[in-house]
Structure 1
């Protein structure tokens, strides 16, 4: 491939840092990045724009690239008739959101690659996703589309402009499709959660876990909400459904049983055949979910999976400066999943003992015919207990056999050609990973996870923050670019507040407050009482959209509600709570009608209704406290935890209302104790762990 590239002349994408754009730098297409040069050229030459949006680990993006963008005949038409622009949707979600909405208006769905034809003033007139080079299966061919649209633009420009104008009006309408009601008399009470939880459960698959049929996505935001509804209602079936789903995900083929980590989604209903790309955000969110499942169930499978996933992130998705890469591709050597699948012959050739061959293959469902294009995706078919009974061996021995050969196969797999890595750092995804490492530290006590979180925050504060205090979204190889969007601020504030619970330090609270205030100044919509996705400092696009739905990741608005509630209880600033209330009241009806799209918001509403419980631990030792360790392993989703010791009680924590009346001890305490406060009432200092647990459990 490198020899081939050496013979080709690169296009302007060679100057970009995005791995996705660089993948297309040697296409014969004269690609531009989204910039003034390209947009001005389209206006000056009065040419339509072909906008192609994707991301580096997108399988069908690769397919369309190989079929069309590497084809000289297709490239000739594109170069002569269009101005061709490539956008990495992970770098520019604002652009992607606008034109995804256009695609959904026309086709009823969206996805990547996103293929959009625009007038020079950026109005869409034809949209779709993947197009094959030649028409097949009812999908028009890309070559045919190019020729027809270029002719139409020359001969029927009035019709195209009319279509584009209608598109824009429809986009404006859809951007207001969840208009906040601003009904300040609307009650925010538990009935909101009751109705939403019941509506959500009607979509549940009680056989295979998850929601709907196929493809199956983890939908972590919704599962996290159902755990909170279980916490406030005590109704077991909500917990049991989440438990079922987590088990199916962990034991299914979506889980990389050898190397750790999870693929993007399952193409089937049973979580067997994944779309093999691994995204940082999916893995971070699943870690957060599994940490909570461990806190509820104390089942080691959840703790073990958390460790395996975090170790995968540390090993494969962490750079030498302590921040996290974005993704690993689905493809390697031009084939989807090739890195991950096995023939039975390959596996048994590495296992010398026939009995061990039988046990290992039975456990992972390995067969001669395979379960994926003649090869095998590892997926747990039988439990260790079942195999123990069948083969008359001790559970520990069965586990040892599986672990031994899993390690052997992992080491062999490491010699294969790995999928390509997207090595850019995205702030919002890194923030989710920071939260995941904090949660992982809580349930395991492993310092390396806390250090990973703290190192990432330190890097962000040094490298992704401007001299004026604004945040950037993207970092790669020493360069930052693109001012942060709402989700970057929202997730990062959430991560800082998570860190406060394990490393209570005024600098993290100060940073969280500063970023909240910046977001309120630059993103807040005073009429709708919610946040725009872009700030008033960003480039002005066709429309200014809001992302209110929780999709693969939660929406910045949903997370911001809980940020405001948490910070109100820490700082005591009533404006934070007022804005959280307004955001909730404006979204309640939409959340009840469509809880599937508002899982994280419903969790934020839970926090508002349940009210936070303040748990302040006074510790003799800054590094380890048995009380802290035990409380960290409890499921307290409405907890605001802080740990005070001699080293930080002397800080300026007094300025925060959470600590104002609690920091009365500058001396080392004789023993660890806890203060528990709710509704402006606090317990006396408690040293007995069982009494602490009793009070916290009664909080349910």
Structure 2
């Protein structure tokens, strides 16, 4: 056993029995490297990462590799989900050196932590050769490595820092149009998403495109969003048997996933499908929401009302070996045995044919034709086919539960919990299911009770009753966003004041007045070899873009001019950098908030809560909602409560129309036709 046996991260514990003398990332490990003047190997991955497991099996479980690593290096294993700050810094280094990145991420550093070499996955012999060459170089000509490390370090410090925009010109939302037009050239009009593989879902992209398509009344954009959401729901990427999405597909059809299921993907996708359901009332979107939340509650919700992080891509196959996707795939003979006389219909619906074939006689279920066409082919009504489909999925679920399940990453991350929390709130708003709101409130209480310290900071990770690792900007940003959403669902102002309290903490501890952005780690926390400002939206929106959106909403509700100034200043600096819009969709959302469409709505009166639920069920992404069923001191609501009447105030640019008392008239006035 190495030092990782003392850690709680499932990923680190997976390596605790390696012959490598692994250490965890901490000051003692780093000090050992400096004291012994040894190069550091920083190896970064996560528990659901398939190629991380491959490299572990091929190299890190091998005695010959261990001899090389143990004799000349200090080897440090990092869970990227626990330490996104460490991952971000060394990912920048590898991207500068190789023009690409990914996991496992392997970097060799000088004893002071500055990187000199790096890459991703390496085969055993190649890995050993590289390490031997690096050690020889460090022994014979250390000055060459030190010089290179210095130059690389300069690049890392600069990369990702956004230059201030010197222009005083106000950001006109009309300028979004050419960005979207350029963006649309990468759309895949056959299967949705982008015309490339592997294919990531990028939920925030479609939240923005849907909103922009709605506000500009672009039929093409809305059709593209619906095509993408439908194809994702029909592909093997979505687990139609059990609910939940895998992280991405390796092909352009959303067919064969990389089978890990991540909490953050599913939380964001619930929000996306909920918003799309409000717009379309498409029953497929409702099915996706309900199946996924059933999966989340059954597999990823623990007794503390916290959500676990992920299910692994790999599971034990029928011959007792770990295999990617083994839990999810089907052989034709298995399906014939289970479905009997219905097999032919099932085959047409789920493509148990060349279209749905993967490898090794395995099929990944995928739909490619409308259900009404298949029903007609077999002389059924569509409802009869859908009822059969529901029964088939239950049969397959029961059978699949007999298989060994994928490994569980049972740590709970504050940021990811907040993303899932918001997913539950959005599902409640769309479907009105009180059970979803109940889970959301319990998860919010978990964050308040366990992850919010008496000193005012958030913890990042939680496992086995213990909170660890001081929180990063992403933790605050997503909790603030979720608490604002929870307030808008319940009108309980405590959540809004808690969001403001965390915002003020961020401004005090994370905001860089000179750069005019938030650092990823608190100024008074552990400092790495370079600061990190997370500004580009990726599979998860950038923590700075989430903070900017939060600040803007809170500025309106609290009449706080400083919040607005900081948010719009950040946006102003970002706009000149928006060359490819898909990496800035959450910034574009904030930009769109400046359009003439944007409104605020105050719902005040004793029946405010039930009327808020009705408003929340409408697709109105351009409306910021607040309300109260009693006298409120919230600046936006002050002096608006009426003991006798329910009043709706529509506001824009800090000016409000006279209130009206008709819910239907209010919705009609707010809707964009």
User: If the length of structure 2 is used for normalisation, what is the TM-score?
Assistant: 0.96
> Given the alignment of the two structures, is residue 659 of structure 1 paired with residue 614 of structure 2, yes or no?
no
- Separation of aligned partners in 1, 2:627 and 2:334: 51
> Given the alignment of the two structures, is residue 263 of structure 1 paired with residue 254 of structure 2, yes or no?
no
Native 8 Å contact 1:285 1:436 kept in 2: yes
Q: CA deviation at 1:189?
A: 1.0
Out of 366, 369, 384, the residue aligned to residue 379 of structure 1 is: 366
- Separation of aligned partners in 1, 2:529 and 2:152: 11
Native 8 Å contact 2:208 2:585 kept in 1: yes
Out of 142, 157, 168, the residue aligned to residue 127 of structure 2 is: 142
Native 8 Å contact 1:362 1:381 kept in 2: no
Q: CA deviation at 1:212?
A: 3.4
Native 8 Å contact 1:475 1:481 kept in 2: yes
Native 8 Å contact 1:465 1:472 kept in 2: yes
Native 8 Å contact 1:610 1:638 kept in 2: no
Partner residue, 2:48: 57
Q: CA-atom RMSD, angstroms?
A: 1.7
- Separation of aligned partners in 2, 1:212 and 1:547: 26
Q: CA deviation at 1:371?
A: 2.6
- Could you report, residue by residue, the CA deviation over 1:235-255 in whole angstroms, capped at 9, with x for unpaired residues? 211111111111111111100
Partner residue, 1:172: 157
Partner residue, 2:416: 429
- Separation of aligned partners in 2, 1:610 and 1:63: 53
> Given the alignment of the two structures, is residue 401 of structure 1 paired with residue 375 of structure 2, yes or no?
no
Partner residue, 1:634: 618
Partner residue, 1:349: 337
**SS of 1:86's equivalent?**
strand
Native 8 Å contact 2:489 2:613 kept in 1: no
- Separation of aligned partners in 2, 1:62 and 1:632: 44
Out of 22, 26, 29, the residue aligned to residue 17 of structure 2 is: 26
- Separation of aligned partners in 2, 1:287 and 1:610: 28
- Separation of aligned partners in 1, 2:435 and 2:576: 43
- Separation of aligned partners in 1, 2:132 and 2:628: 69
- Separation of aligned partners in 2, 1:151 and 1:88: 29
Q: CA deviation at 1:610?
A: 4.3
- Separation of aligned partners in 2, 1:317 and 1:674: 40
- Could you report, residue by residue, the CA deviation over 1:92-135 in whole angstroms, capped at 9, with x for unpaired residues? 1111111101111111110000010001011111101000113x
> Given the alignment of the two structures, is residue 308 of structure 1 paired with residue 291 of structure 2, yes or no?
yes
Q: CA deviation at 1:619?
A: 6.0
**SS of 1:501's equivalent?**
helix
- Separation of aligned partners in 1, 2:516 and 2:148: 33
- Could you report, residue by residue, the CA deviation over 1:370-398 in whole angstroms, capped at 9, with x for unpaired residues? 33332011111332201121111121111
**SS of 1:116's equivalent?**
strand
Q: CA deviation at 1:80?
A: 0.7
Partner residue, 2:628: 644
Partner residue, 1:122: 113
> Greater shift after overlay, 447-456 or 364-373?
364-373
Out of 627, 648, 659, the residue aligned to residue 674 of structure 1 is: 648
- Separation of aligned partners in 2, 1:691 and 1:683: 13
Q: CA deviation at 1:186?
A: 2.1
Partner residue, 1:96: 87
- Separation of aligned partners in 2, 1:182 and 1:432: 34
Native 8 Å contact 1:221 1:600 kept in 2: yes
Native 8 Å contact 1:193 1:229 kept in 2: no
Native 8 Å contact 2:628 2:637 kept in 1: no
- Separation of aligned partners in 2, 1:100 and 1:538: 20
Out of 188, 191, 196, the residue aligned to residue 213 of structure 1 is: 196
- Cα gap change, 1:610/1:130 in structure 2, threshold over 3 Å: closer, same or farther? farther
- Cα gap change, 1:180/1:303 in structure 2, threshold over 3 Å: closer, same or farther? farther
Partner residue, 1:690: 664
1:283-362 counterparts in 2 under 5 A?
283-333=266-316, 334-352=322-340, 354=341, 356-362=342-348
Q: CA deviation at 1:199?
A: 1.9
- Separation of aligned partners in 2, 1:546 and 1:404: 49
Partner residue, 2:175: 192
- Separation of aligned partners in 2, 1:695 and 1:225: 22
Native 8 Å contact 1:280 1:433 kept in 2: yes
**SS of 1:455's equivalent?**
helix
1:191-590 counterparts in 2 under 5 A?
191-333=174-316, 334-352=322-340, 354=341, 356-367=342-353, 370-590=357-577
- Separation of aligned partners in 2, 1:444 and 1:330: 31
Q: CA deviation at 1:195?
A: 2.1
- Could you report, residue by residue, the CA deviation over 1:394-429 in whole angstroms, capped at 9, with x for unpaired residues? 211111111101101101111110111111111111
- Separation of aligned partners in 2, 1:415 and 1:610: 56
**SS of 1:674's equivalent?**
strand
**SS of 1:359's equivalent?**
helix
- Could you report, residue by residue, the CA deviation over 1:514-568 in whole angstroms, capped at 9, with x for unpaired residues? 1111111111111221111111122111001111100110001111111111101
- Separation of aligned partners in 1, 2:255 and 2:395: 23
Out of 562, 567, 589, the residue aligned to residue 603 of structure 1 is: 589
Partner residue, 1:151: 136
- Could you report, residue by residue, the CA deviation over 1:176-208 in whole angstroms, capped at 9, with x for unpaired residues? 3x323253x122112232122112112212222
For structure 1, list consecutive stretches of 5 or more residues without a partner in the other structure: 1-9, 135-140
